[in-house]
Chains A and B, each alone.
Chain A
């Protein structure tokens, strides 16, 4: 399976051979999609097991577990793809919960980060030493370059921000990306060679 995926990706073995290997790989990829889709069911079972146990044992905040289970059941039933009985993503209950509960709650959770970042910036951006001062200056310049209020007042803020993004940031990101790629290749090779067996829950050796 691995070689079927990897070889046509990296090597040109001629159109016919590459196509044949690609077709076989594509066939197995579709199998994988079915397996991944079924794995969602495992997630649902796990959520039910955890929260049902919470309710059963009256653990801390067990009432929230009831909410989780009720909403899960409601969304699951309302979202079943049975158009004939008006269920599915166009079902009114499903749409109501999605548009009026899930969407605003998700947006709120994400937006809350603004409060934490503001508080963290106030506490962390202190000129305690040279390194901290550099972070402070770079961070402040990025903030100034990202708000139209400041770039209108003094357009070079944008130029400076763009330079920080394009030069020091990109250099660092490249190093991180390459580091991750090399680490991933090493892990893949170790796994294929049977050296890395952590995924079997058995530890290294």
Chain B
């Protein structure tokens, strides 16, 4: 009886310790568990590869360092894929720390290594303050809202990449990788609804349920949620990276949750059964 009760009231510090062990072990000694590729990662890859040559896309890392553990792998993988294609990329963010996050992406993926010329094939417009208002203004007039780039500090409209890009109607696709607000719903309201600009969204796992209605309605063309989907995307690209390295830890932490829930319920039901039997 007391054992069953002790299990149910297990000190949370033991759970924290178990959690730490279950996460750390596969990070130190990778298990190499197979990663089945599911539809969401396939859809994401399909949406990126379907961009027509010569098109211009918006690449928006919409998160700060707290989102790095979960979102950075998909940001790197997607940017790498874009750089390997004949696509023009406008990098912009509406999160204050977004440019610093993107600098870390640049440390891993050098556009020059893909023979991409700054100002012609890609441009970094940095952070635009003003959240949704700024996104609306940016949609109406890109070069007017972000008047300077952040690398060369020159007028945005002076770069060759911006010559035919005036408003959201000139953009083929928005790739928004994000943790919250401003994010997908603001893109939908200010870009997708008025200008019909397609959007694909990479988000943290907990945001996925909130995105599903927009995916089903077709407003979000593809959704890549969480680290597991990132790992699947890396598998599709045949470029294992940070997500592939971390997905074993995801599996192990989920295994711990299942074990704890099963043990907790067995103890709970056994205790309840024995209490009723004793009466």
- B66 and A107: CB pair below 8 A? yes
- A143 and B254: CB pair below 8 A? yes
Q: How far is the CA of A140 from the CA of B262 in the complex (A)?
A: 9
- B261 and A165: CB pair below 8 A? no
- B198 CB, min distance to chain A CBs, angstroms: 19
Q: How far is the CA of A165 from the CA of B189 in the complex (A)?
A: 23
- B139 CB, min distance to chain A CBs, angstroms: 10
**Across-interface contacts of B144 in A (CB, < 8 A):** 26, 30
> Which residue in B36, B129, B140 is a CB contact (below 8 Å) of A155?
B36
- A119 and B16: CB pair below 8 A? yes
Q: How far is the CA of A158 from the CA of B208 in the complex (A)?
A: 15
- A136 and B228: CB pair below 8 A? no
Q: How far is the CA of A29 from the CA of B129 in the complex (A)?
A: 12
A122 at the interface (CB under 8 A from B): yes
Q: Count B-side interface residues using an 8 Å CB cutoff.
A: 66
> Which residue in A107, A140, A150, A158 is a CB contact (below 8 Å) of B261?
A140
- A140 and B258: CB pair below 8 A? yes
- A118 and B265: CB pair below 8 A? no
B278 at the interface (CB under 8 A from A): no
- B143 CB, min distance to chain A CBs, angstroms: 12
**Across-interface contacts of A40 in B (CB, < 8 A):** 129
> Which residue in B33, B103, B137 is a CB contact (below 8 Å) of A149?
B33
**Across-interface contacts of A193 in B (CB, < 8 A):** none
**Across-interface contacts of A146 in B (CB, < 8 A):** 205, 226, 228, 250, 254
**Across-interface contacts of A107 in B (CB, < 8 A):** 65-66, 68-69
Task: Tell me whether A165 and B212 are in contact in the complex, defined as CB-CB below 8 angstroms, given that A36-B129, A36-B130 are known contacts.
Answer: yes
Q: How far is the CA of A37 from the CA of B137 in the complex (A)?
A: 15
A49 at the interface (CB under 8 A from B): no
**Across-interface contacts of A114 in B (CB, < 8 A):** 19, 23, 253
**Across-interface contacts of A11 in B (CB, < 8 A):** none
- A173 and B212: CB pair below 8 A? yes
Minimum CB distance partner of B216 in chain A: A170
Q: Count A-side interface residues using an 8 Å CB cutoff.
A: 57
Q: How far is the CA of A22 from the CA of B157 in the complex (A)?
A: 21
Task: Tell me whether A33 and B130 are in contact in the complex, defined as CB-CB below 8 angstroms, given that A114-B253, A122-B260, A147-B254 are known contacts.
Answer: yes
**Across-interface contacts of A106 in B (CB, < 8 A):** 64-66, 68
**Across-interface contacts of A148 in B (CB, < 8 A):** 33-36, 228, 231, 247, 250-251
A16 at the interface (CB under 8 A from B): no
Q: Enumerate B189-233 residues with CB–CB distance to A below 8 Å.
A: 194, 205, 208-210, 212-213, 216, 226, 228, 231
- A170 and B212: CB pair below 8 A? yes
- B264 and A126: CB pair below 8 A? yes
What number of residue pairs across chains A and B have CB atoms under 8 A from each other? 166
B111 at the interface (CB under 8 A from A): no
- A35 CB, min distance to chain B CBs, angstroms: 9
B99 at the interface (CB under 8 A from A): yes
**Across-interface contacts of B210 in A (CB, < 8 A):** 173, 177
- B226 and A125: CB pair below 8 A? no
**Across-interface contacts of B25 in A (CB, < 8 A):** none
B55 at the interface (CB under 8 A from A): no
- A85 CB, min distance to chain B CBs, angstroms: 15
> Which residue in A30, A110, A165 is a CB contact (below 8 Å) of B208?
A165
- B213 and A177: CB pair below 8 A? yes
**Chain A interfacial positions (CB closer than 8 Å to B):** 9, 22, 26, 29-30, 32-33, 36-37, 40, 83, 89, 98-99, 102-107, 109-111, 114-115, 117-119, 121-123, 125-128, 136, 139-140, 143-144, 146-152, 155, 158, 162, 165-166, 169-170, 173-174, 177
Question: What 5 pairs between A and B have smallest CB-CB spacing?
Answer: A149-B251, A147-B254, A106-B65, A106-B66, A33-B130
**Chain B interfacial positions (CB closer than 8 Å to A):** 10, 12, 15-16, 18-20, 23, 33-36, 38-39, 64-70, 97, 99-100, 103-104, 128-131, 133-134, 136-137, 140-141, 144-145, 153, 194, 205, 208-210, 212-213, 216, 226, 228, 231, 247, 250-258, 260-261, 264-265, 268-269
Q: List 17 A-B contacts (CB under 8 A).
A: A26-B144, A32-B130, A40-B129, A103-B104, A104-B65, A119-B12, A119-B15, A140-B261, A144-B258, A146-B250, A147-B254, A148-B35, A148-B250, A150-B254, A150-B255, A155-B36, A170-B212
